């Protein structure tokens, strides 16, 4: 008796995942593109240098996922994400950022991002984020998820948060960003973000002016 073999099942290629990449730094964008193109079934269909160019491209290309930086000229990533959500609500958007502060993460998610990946993350995490967003609709690493679960900082006088008051006090004491980061358990980049936001919120352009403000508020003593 001759056993008949069932025909082997046909193998169909997975559909290509089309990504639109937005970042204002050409070297960073080129590196990300090379990384993405090395992922099986992933294709970078367009690149943008800022949020406005990103939105303009969406009138001509139809990506599955937008991977966008947050800090960009003309229109930043947060504003671009909000516009995408309003105009293309089904389009998946992942924010890619160097900022690990809770306010940046919350702003990105509130604007419509369904994922948030740090730029210092391993390449494997970026691929996992793309696959997860397409499969489940969202992706947040354990670190980012913890940030989203944090209670928002209490706001004090002049609309500075408690954390910003801490940073301001140490800046006025002459402490460097590295020293402040070590003291508060933050990254140096996070401290620099806080410093920039304090200056912007108080409309003060240098450390000397910040120090005089801190003296007036009694945060430091002469």
Domains of the chain: 17-149 (3.40.50.2300), 157-216 (1.10.10.10)
Q: Which two tokens stand for residue 198?
A: 């304090």
| Residue bearing the bigger pLDDT, 114 or 196 | 114
**Residues 100, 147 contacting (CB under 8 angstroms):** yes
Reported as a single tens digit per residue, the pLDDT across 90-122 is: 999 999 988 777 777 888 888 899 999 988 888
What rounded mean pLDDT belongs to the chain? Answer: 85
* pLDDT confidence of residue 13: 57
Q: Which two tokens stand for residue 137?
A: 């609709």
Of the pLDDT bands very low, low, confident and very high (cuts 50, 70, 90), residue 185 is: confident
Bridge partner list, 18 = 43
Q: Is the pLDDT of residue 197 over 90?
A: no
DSSP the chain: -PPPPPPPPPP-PPPPEEEEEE-S-HHHHHHHHHHHHTSTTEEEEEEESSHHHHHHHTTT---SEEEEESS-SSS-HHHHHHHHHHH-TTSEEEEEES---HHHHHHHHHHT-SEEEETTS-HHHHHHHHHHHHHHS-EE-HHHHHHHHSPPPPB-GGG-BHHHHHHHHHHHTT--HHHHHHHHT--HHHHHHHHHHHHHHHT--SHHHHHHHHHHTTSS--
Q: Which two tokens stand for residue 178?
A: 């590295």
**Cα separation, 95 vs 115, whole angstroms:** 6
Of 3, 50, 57, nearest to 29 (Cα)? 50
Neighbours of 3 (CB within 10 A): 4
**Cα separation, 133 vs 64, whole angstroms:** 10
Q: Is the pLDDT of residue 155 over 50?
A: no
Of the pLDDT bands very low, low, confident and very high (cuts 50, 70, 90), residue 2 is: low
Of the pLDDT bands very low, low, confident and very high (cuts 50, 70, 90), residue 85 is: very high
**Cα separation, 216 vs 124, whole angstroms:** 50
């Amino acid at each position: 008796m001759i056993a008949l073999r069932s025909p082997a099942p046909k193998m169909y290629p997975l559909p290509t995942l089309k990504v639109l990449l937005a970042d204002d730094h050409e070297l960073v964008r080129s590196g990300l593109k090379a990384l993405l193109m090395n992922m099986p079934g992933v294709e970078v269909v367009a690149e943008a240098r800022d949020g406005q160019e990103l939105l303009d491209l969406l009138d001509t290309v139809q990506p599955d996922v937008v991977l966008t930086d947050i800090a960009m000229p003309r229109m930043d990533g947060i504003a671009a994400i909000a516009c995408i959500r309003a105009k293309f609500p089904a389009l998946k958007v992942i924010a890619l950022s160097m900022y690990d502060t809770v306010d940046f993460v919350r702003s990105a998610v509130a604007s419509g991002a369904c994922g948030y990946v740090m730029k210092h993350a391993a390449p494997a995490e970026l691929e996992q984020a793309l696959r997860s967003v397409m499969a489940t609709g969202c992706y947040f690493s354990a670190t980012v998820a913890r940030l989203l679960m944090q209670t928002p900082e209490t706001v004090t006088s002049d609309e500075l948060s408690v954390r910003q008051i801490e940073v301001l006090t140490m800046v006025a004491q002459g402490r460097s960003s590295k020293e402040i980061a070590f003291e508060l358990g933050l990254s140096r980049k996070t401290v620099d973000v806080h410093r920039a936001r304090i200056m912007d919120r108080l409309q003060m352009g240098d450390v000397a002016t910040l120090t005089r403000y801190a003296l007036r508020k009694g945060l430091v003593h002469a």
